[in-house]
Amino acid sequence: MTHTQKRIITNNIVMILSALSAIIGIGFLFWILGVLVLNGIDALSWTIFTQEGAPPGYEESGLKHALIGQLFIVGIATVVGVPLGILAGTYLSEYGQMSKLAQTVRDISDIMMSAPSIVIGAFVYAIVVAPMGHFSGWAGSIALTIIMLPIILRTTDDMLQLVPSTLREAAFALGASKYKVITQIVYRGAKAGILTGVLLGVARVAGETAPLLFTSFNDNFLNTDMSEPMASLTVTMYNYATSPYEDWQKLGWAAAFILSMFILSLNIIGRLFLLKKKGK
Amino acid sequence: MSILIDKLFSYATKFVAIAVLLLVAWIFTILFQNSIDSIEAFGFDFLTETKWAPNLEKFGALPAIYGSVVSTFLAMVLAVPLAIGVAIFLSELAPAKLKSPVGVSIELLAAIPSVIYGMWGLFYFVPIVRDIFGGIGISMLTAGIVLSIMILPFMAAVTRDAMNTTPDILKESAYALGGTKWDVIKDIIIPYAKAGIIGSFILALGRAIGETMAVTFVMGNVHKISFDLTEPATSIPVTLANEFTEADTSLYYSSLFELSLFLLVISFTIISIAKFYFLRRQRAA
Amino acid sequence: MATIVTITEEKALEVKDFEFTYASADAPSIKKLTMPVAKNSITALIGPSGCGKTTLLRSFNRMHDLYSGNQYSGEIIFKGRNILTAKEDLISLRIQIGMIFQKPTAFPMSIFDNVAYGMRLQGIKNKTELQGRVEKALQDAALWNEVKDRLKHDANGLSGGQQQRLCIARAVAVEPEVLLFDEPTSALDPISTAGIEELIVELKNRVSIIIVTHNMQQAARVSDYTGFMYLGELIELGLTEEMFVTPKEKLTEEYITGKFG
Ligand SMILES: Nc1ncnc2c1ncn2[C@@H]1O[C@H](COP(=O)(O)OP(=O)(O)OP(=O)(O)O)[C@@H](O)[C@H]1O
Ligand SMILES: [Mg+2]
């Protein structure tokens, strides 16, 4: 066998292995998706949206409490985290630029984006839950805000930097102040990108479970008082799935399905925004 | 008036940016302060002691550290070759028609929250492990496998991105000398994208070691060092997730905070190595 | 149709009724092109941007096959056989027909390993043989004296002109019969360009060369034959010295006198 023949055989083997690992990897992932969709659709019904939690075996149980709790916790985190993140990102791109301070904020944010979220839960426990003496929706929102902040900050920074500097210069040349240039020209130019960043940031924290376990904790009934323990889809899913009751497990799948669809939709919408922008 | 707004706005942005740094410093401080009881009580033995017995007020982190290291190692051993295979498929092998749909679905799967992977693992993978390897199925091995599947999409996507930075003209030059696809991949693409590929693996490692929900369902939270992978085990995040709401003494709390601090320091270090040593250099090149 | 001068030498390649369509295009980029290429001589391909020079050049070593969906028909005869058939062994074809690209393409490895790459692919492992052939190739590429003390250094540390000569050394090291050059000097300064041109002329004793260039002086300086392409067709192929003085086709004349392109 010549050397070239050997090379061709090696090549074919590697290519088969590569295709195989792609099939295995993708197979696993579709298995998970399939399980999620089948179990989720099976468990979906109207009562899920209209009923609160109930003891196991009770027919009329739903996820209304978890859905509303999730909305509160994530909603407040978004309302607080997004403006703060955009402000900080604006500092990095428009004021700090390549300064030491700006670079440090960038680096630290990059690290925080991949840091273990359960640790944030421990931190919020120490500063909010312990002094208050009990778990609360607020504590959950604060934990999610902290997780969301670096994501929004870094995408805003990146997206603002993509706005051509000639645009800023043209506005300055007309006598606009920096504040006006940023809010009226730069933000407008980076709108789609920032929006995508926000969507992805919300999608990311909406799936967080670990930092909520001991901040917002859980509540099997509907509660709209943020200073009390509050249900979330993720923690509910965890509790129900690990319970021995089949009807609770079923509710867990429904929660998993609703949450995943929400997160996937945000991701897809975010991508479409960016695509549309590129297309223009 | 407009000068005032200008100034206020610039100060506001700077304030928030600095606040981010202070927040991170604050996180470290709080975790440290809350760990002091445990640090004073156990000193360095905390990290080497194998006994974790809340009822005896004895806290040793070694089983959790061992579990974190072994489950992450298992996950990496399983995920790295698969991720390389998938990345090669996506960047070099797949026909143009498949590249983009498969690539996008992989990226979307990376966005699925880890709690879902954990739940899937509990209901569908635990029984399989039980049938094949015996035991109760809740085990170190299951945790490693579920963790590897969870980090696979992220790893495959970033590895593909790194491989795709190789200029076409460089690849064509190697083909023009009679190279096969595999020759081009191993001699040109991998050396060219090395820093990016290694960096993304280390980054995935940093994420895996702090991952909580994917493993909490399937690991069992048993503080015992066993070399039998089919036995239940625990890891730092699994211990935190299971015991934080149960801690009833200040030493117990403090020990959990020390675990959190330790985990944060380890993750910070690993992620920094990935970002600043490997991924930074690649960006500069 | 096309005015093609009679070639007296043996032919290295013969293109017959070759038509090529890119996967993403509706119309062919090369239309029914017929052209002989003389052995051990230099054929220059000129023509306005987008006329299909690169497309034709990359057909000789089946580079287009790296991307799916491209369509071609007709024949390209090399050593008595049509290399466009499905059973053609692309690896040995590419060893026999080398290519130099528009930009230098030093591989991410040492200078020595770059030059040895093609030989190693063919299974040559003997150290002394490798060393001998690497040295010879570098000498052929007029690079030996500049790099002999740093063969183990990363090839990306070389200047652009040096890197392009390294690529030529890498290509000649496997002793091809044909070398394809696609605007090899377009990214280089005038001095490096002169060096590469000299090199190409010296190489023709051993290989047949096709060179795509936008620089008409370059075509006149180095080539024996010149082909003028326009909109995917060969308009005229002539002896270089004749074609630049007395082109037979009106289009050729307009192009070389700068009326368009
Ligand atoms: N990958 C491709 N897909 C589709 N069409 C292509 C592709 N590459 C080139 N073309 C088209 O084919 C035609 C010939 O292109 P080619 O690159 O061969 O021209 P050229 O003569 O080398 O031009 P230049 O002097 O600018 O290098 C052009 O119309 C071009 O737009
Ligand atoms: Mg060209």
C-chain residue closest to B178, CA distance: C91
**Average pLDDT value for residue range A101-124:** 95
φ and ψ at A164, to 5 degrees? -60, 140
CB contact at 8 A, C72 and B154:
no
Angle at B29 between CA B28 and CA B30, to 5 degrees: 95
CB contact at 8 A, B210 and B153:
no
Q: Do B210 and A115 touch (CB under 8 A)?
A: yes
Percentage of residues of chain A with pLDDT beyond 70: 99
Q: Is the pLDDT of residue A251 over 50?
A: yes
User: Residue C166, Cα to own-chain centre: how many angstroms?
Assistant: 15
- Amino acid B284: pLDDT: 37
Q: What distance in Å separates the CA atoms of residue B150 and residue B117, rounded to the nearest whole number?
A: 6
CB contact at 8 A, B235 and B219:
yes
**Average pLDDT value for residue range B139-160:** 95
Longest CA–CA separation in chain A, Å: 77
**Neighbouring chains of B at 3+ CB pairs within 8 Å?**
A, C
- Amino acid A280: pLDDT: 52
Give C225's contacts (C-beta < 8 A, 6+ positions apart). Answer: C5, C7, C37, C38, C41, C42, C43, C44, C237, C238, C239, C240
In which order are the strands placed within the sheet that holds C225-230?
A: C3-4, C233-239, C225-230, C42-46, C208-212, C178-182, C97-100
Q: What distance in Å separates the CA atoms of residue C161 and residue C193, rounded to the nearest whole number?
A: 8
Q: Do A2 and C92 touch (CB under 8 A)?
A: no
Read off the pLDDT band of C31 (50, 70, 90).
very high
Percentage of residues of chain C with pLDDT beyond 70: 99
Interface ipTM: 0.94
Q: Is the pLDDT of residue B265 over 50?
A: yes
- Amino acid C133: pLDDT: 96
Q: What is the atom index within ligand 1 of the atom nearest the CA of C51?
A: 21
In angstroms, the separation between the Cα of residue C85 and the nearest Cα of chain B is 18
- Amino acid B3: pLDDT: 85
Q: Which of residues 2-61 of A touch C (CB under 8 A)?
A: 2-4, 6-8
Read off the pLDDT band of A279 (50, 70, 90).
low
pLDDT digits (tens, 9 = 90+) for A146-181: 999 999 999 999 999 999 989 999 989 888 889 999
Query: CB-based contact (8 Å) between C101 and chain B?
Result: yes
Read off the pLDDT band of C32 (50, 70, 90).
very high
Q: Do C107 and B173 touch (CB under 8 A)?
A: yes
Q: Report whether residue C24 contacts ligand 1, using a CB cutoff of 6 Å.
A: yes
Burial of A2 (0-12, 13-18, 19+ CB in 10 A): exposed
Q: Is the pLDDT of residue B285 over 80?
A: no
Q: Is the pLDDT of residue B60 over 60?
A: yes
Read off the pLDDT band of B112 (50, 70, 90).
very high
Read off the pLDDT band of B97 (50, 70, 90).
confident
Walk me through the domains of chain C, giving residue ranges and CATH numbers: 3-256 (3.40.50.300)
- Atom 28 of ligand 1, residue of closest alpha carbon: C50
Q: Is the pLDDT of residue C261 over 80?
A: no
CB contact at 8 A, A194 and B99:
no
**Average pLDDT value for residue range A246-271:** 94
Give B67's contacts (C-beta < 8 A, 6+ positions apart). Answer: B140, B143, B219, B233, B234, B235, B236, B238
Read off the pLDDT band of B283 (50, 70, 90).
very low
pLDDT digits (tens, 9 = 90+) for C176-231: 999 999 999 998 899 989 999 999 999 999 999 999 999 999 999 999 999 999 99
Query: Residue C122: its chain B contacts at CB < 8 A?
Result: 178
Q: Which of A103, A114, A234 to mutate to test the interface with B (most CBs of B within 10 A)?
A: A114
Report the phi/psi class of residue C69: left, alpha or beta, with left for phi > 0 and alpha for psi in -120 to 50. Answer: left
CB contact at 8 A, C203 and C179:
yes
Q: List the one residue out of B32, B8, B162 whose CA is nearest residue B92.
A: B162
- Amino acid C52: pLDDT: 96
| Ligand whose nearest atom lies closest to the CA of C228 | 1
Read off the pLDDT band of A70 (50, 70, 90).
very high
- Atom 30 of ligand 1, residue of closest alpha carbon: C50
Give A21's contacts (C-beta < 8 A, 6+ positions apart). Answer: B81, B82, B84, B85, B86, B89
Q: How far is the CA of C105 from the centre of ligand 1 (A)?
A: 20
pLDDT digits (tens, 9 = 90+) for C134-147: 999 999 899 999 99
Instruction: Tell me which architecture the domain covering B48-284 has in CATH.
Output: Orthogonal Bundle (1.10)
Q: How far is the CA of C219 from the centre of ligand 2 (A)?
A: 15
Read off the pLDDT band of B280 (50, 70, 90).
confident
Q: How far is the CA of C186 from the centre of ligand 2 (A)?
A: 11
- Atom 6 of ligand 1, residue of closest alpha carbon: C22
Query: Residue A8: its chain C contacts at CB < 8 A?
Result: 91
pLDDT digits (tens, 9 = 90+) for A219-239: 888 889 999 999 999 999 999
- Amino acid B279: pLDDT: 83
Q: Which of B165, B173, B181 to mutate to test the interface with C (most CBs of C within 10 A)?
A: B173
B-chain residue closest to A262, CA distance: B112
Dihedral over alpha carbons C43, C47, C49, C50 (to 10 degrees): -80
- Amino acid A29: pLDDT: 81
Q: Is the pLDDT of residue A182 over 60?
A: yes
> Ligand 1, from C45, C49, C54: best to mutate by most atoms within 8 Å of Cβ?
C54
Q: Do C121 and A2 touch (CB under 8 A)?
A: no
CB contact at 8 A, C237 and C2:
yes
φ and ψ at B117, to 5 degrees? -60, -40
Give C175's contacts (C-beta < 8 A, 6+ positions apart). Answer: C206
> What letter represents residue C189's amino acid?
D
What global pTM score does this model have?
Answer: 0.90
Q: What distance in Å separates the CA atoms of residue C182 and residue C210, rounded to the nearest whole number?
A: 8
CB contact at 8 A, C89 and C37:
no
Q: What is the DSSP string of A30-99?
A: HHHHHHHHHHHHHH--HHHHH-----TT-SS--SHHHHHHHHHHHHHHHHHHHHHHHHHHHIIIIIITTS
pLDDT digits (tens, 9 = 90+) for A132-143: 999 999 999 999
Q: What distance in Å separates the CA atoms of residue B116 and residue B123, rounded to the nearest whole number?
A: 11
DSSP 8-class letter at C110: B
As a whole number, the mean pLDDT across chain B is: 93
Give residue limits of the domains in chain B: 48-284
Size of interface A-B (CB pairs under 8 A): 262
A-chain residue closest to C123, CA distance: A3
Highest-confidence segment of A45-59, B98-112, C152-166? C152-166
Read off the pLDDT band of B282 (50, 70, 90).
very low
CB contact at 8 A, A28 and B117:
no
Query: Residue B187: its chain C contacts at CB < 8 A?
Result: 107, 109, 117
Angle at B28 between CA B23 and CA B31, to 5 degrees: 120
φ and ψ at B53, to 5 degrees? -130, 90
Q: How far is the CA of B204 from the centre of ligand 1 (A)?
A: 41
Q: Do B237 and A116 touch (CB under 8 A)?
A: yes
Q: How far is the CA of C54 from the centre of ligand 1 (A)?
A: 7
